[in-house]
Amino acid sequence: MSASKNYLNRYSKIIIAVSLGLIVGLIALIYNNLLDFSTFFLIGIGGELTINNRLIFLFLPALGGLVVGFIIKYGSMTAKGHGIPAILTSIESKERHLTYRDLLTEGFASAITISSGGSGGRIGPIVEIGAGIGDLIAYKLNLELFDYQTFLGCGAAAGIAGLFHAPLGGIMFVSEILFNKVEKNRLLLVAVSAISADMVVRWSGKKLFLPDLNLGQVGSAYNFLTAAVIGIFAAFFAVAFVYTLRKLSNLFDNLKVNIVFKPALGGLLLGMIAFQLPEIMGSGNRIIVSLFNQTEFNLGFLFLLLIFKIIATSVTLGSGGSGGIFSPSLFIGSLTGIIIGTLFYQYFPFSSGSASLYALIGMAAVISAVIRAPLTATFIILEFTHNYSLTIPLLIAALIAERIASMSGLKSAYSPEYFERL
């Protein structure tokens, strides 16, 4: 009788994991499509930029920030900033768990922040929503702490798989970030949820945001050396990003201003930057795609974008805007890779890589250094491209960047210390 009960219990958990993946995958699909439409409608960057366009860029983030301030104050404080620290705090015990109100607030606040031009990403909000749904299901079923944590991880993995077509990346994210280890007792359920979410997006016909890329001779030993150099510089920019984000978060926290108006103030500061550099608005995915389609670059302009993207994201999230840090990290990483890789090629022309290859290596390196998860960063970039010959150069850059960032003394951008200050 006991064995049968255990079997049925395991069977029911798999059904819950599949259902959770399908639900989160559908939410990720809807969320992604709505954000694509609203972002393009409000801040679509293309064609000639007139003074009217620039005036919109100046004031729209502030207006969006004001709306977000009201939503957060009267909805849920967990939507402030990026959501992963809240999940890490929730996963420690069942005493602090996410509610329906938290999830709705996170969804609305992040959508408004990003679509109005705030420099934030989509993955943080979707991971928090996915983990929150797993949290609510496990909490309602009154599961033991181990199972409760497992389903929270299932939802988080499904969120990444649903947004990035990256089930392996989602699995590794949960293992490296949420659980800090790979546990085979949890791995099956997490994998089932991630694959289920990925299937929903694949059935919809939604394509990856990266085009087919000409990467050159990926396996060249010179490219491995280039990857190491990119990893070193990526660690520097990643540490600068985390440091700036924390400093501005503390600055806005200590500011004697009603919390409703803080995101609006951050939005106004962002708009002042966007008046001259509109490319720093939003998640930056469209700019990344445009970089992959170019063969010649103004490295000085790219460096300017890199610095101000760090500032823009830190201002947006530090002031209380809602969004993630993953997409901005991709943006910063792609610029880092192109700048360093191109300079390296100019001095060592026997190198056989391409700008696209350098950008991908930089993306993996910066993500790894920001969240301290080299395997997650590597797998997500691999699943972006479906080119597994990239594995070695991505790992080289990601591991070097993570080690150097750890030596800086700064903790991961996902440290629960962020949540403790809310």
Structure tokens, 198 = 């990925």
Ranges in the chain annotated CATH 1.10.3080.10: 2-204, 221-420
Model pLDDT, residue 315: 93
Concatenate the DSSP letters of all residues of 223-272 into one string: HHHHHHHHHHHHHHHHHHHHHHHHHHHHHHHHS-S-TTTHHHHHHHHHHH
Per-residue pLDDT for 90 more than 70?
no
DSSP assigned state of 416: T
| Mean pLDDT, residues 199-219 | 71
Identify the three-state secondary structure at position 92.
coil
Residues contacting 201, CB < 8 A, separation 6+: 25, 28, 29, 161, 162, 165
Q: How confident is the model at residue 1 (pLDDT cuts 50, 70, 90)?
A: very low
Model pLDDT, residue 387: 83
Extended beta strands in 50-179, E state = none
Supply the CATH classification number for the domain 2-204. Answer: 1.10.3080.10
Residues contacting 337, CB < 8 A, separation 6+: 230, 234, 358, 359, 360, 361, 362, 363, 365
Residues contacting 307, CB < 8 A, separation 6+: none
| Mean pLDDT, residues 159-168 | 89
Nearest to 287 by CA among 39, 34, 28, 31: 39
Percent pLDDT > 90 in the chain is 34
From CA 160, how far away is CA 179, in angstroms rounded? 16
Residues contacting 62, CB < 8 A, separation 6+: 264, 265, 267, 268, 271
Percent pLDDT > 70 in the chain is 84
221-420 CATH fold? Clc chloride channel (1.10.3080)
Model pLDDT, residue 79: 56
- Distance from first CA to last CA of the chain, Å, rounded? 48
Model pLDDT, residue 71: 86
Model pLDDT, residue 42: 66
- Residue 13 sits at the vertex; the CA angle it makes with 12 and 15, to the nearest 5 degrees, is 65
- Residue 177 sits at the vertex; the CA angle it makes with 123 and 230, to the nearest 5 degrees, is 75
Structure tokens, 328 = 């901005």
- Number of C-beta neighbours around residue 96 at 10 A: 13
Nearest to 403 by CA among 380, 374, 360: 374
What sections of 351-390 are H helices per DSSP? 355-371, 374-385
Nearest to 172 by CA among 152, 151, 194: 194
Rg of the Cα atoms in the chain:
21
Hunting for tokens 């995915």 — which residue is that?
285
Dump pLDDT digits (tens) for 299-312: 999 999 999 999 99
Backbone angles phi, psi at 271, to 5 degrees: -60, -35
From CA 344, how far away is CA 225, in angstroms rounded? 10
Dump pLDDT digits (tens) for 395-418: 999 999 999 999 988 888 887 665
Dump pLDDT digits (tens) for 241-266: 999 999 998 898 888 888 888 889 99
80: left (phi over 0), alpha (psi -120 to 50) or beta: beta
Q: How confident is the model at residue 93 (pLDDT cuts 50, 70, 90)?
A: low
- Residue 262 sits at the vertex; the CA angle it makes with 257 and 264, to the nearest 5 degrees, is 130
Question: Does an H or E element contain 183, and which?
Answer: none
Which stretch of 84-98, 211-225, 240-254, 328-342 has the lowest confidence by average pLDDT? 84-98
Model pLDDT, residue 405: 95
Nearest to 161 by CA among 176, 172, 175, 145: 172
- Residue 284 sits at the vertex; the CA angle it makes with 156 and 372, to the nearest 5 degrees, is 45
Model pLDDT, residue 48: 45
Q: How confident is the model at residue 374 (pLDDT cuts 50, 70, 90)?
A: very high
From CA 363, how far away is CA 238, in angstroms rounded? 11
81: left (phi over 0), alpha (psi -120 to 50) or beta: left
For the chain, counts of helices (H) and of strands (E): 17, 0
Q: Which amino acid is at 132?
A: G
Model pLDDT, residue 418: 52
Nearest to 42 by CA among 115, 112, 109: 115
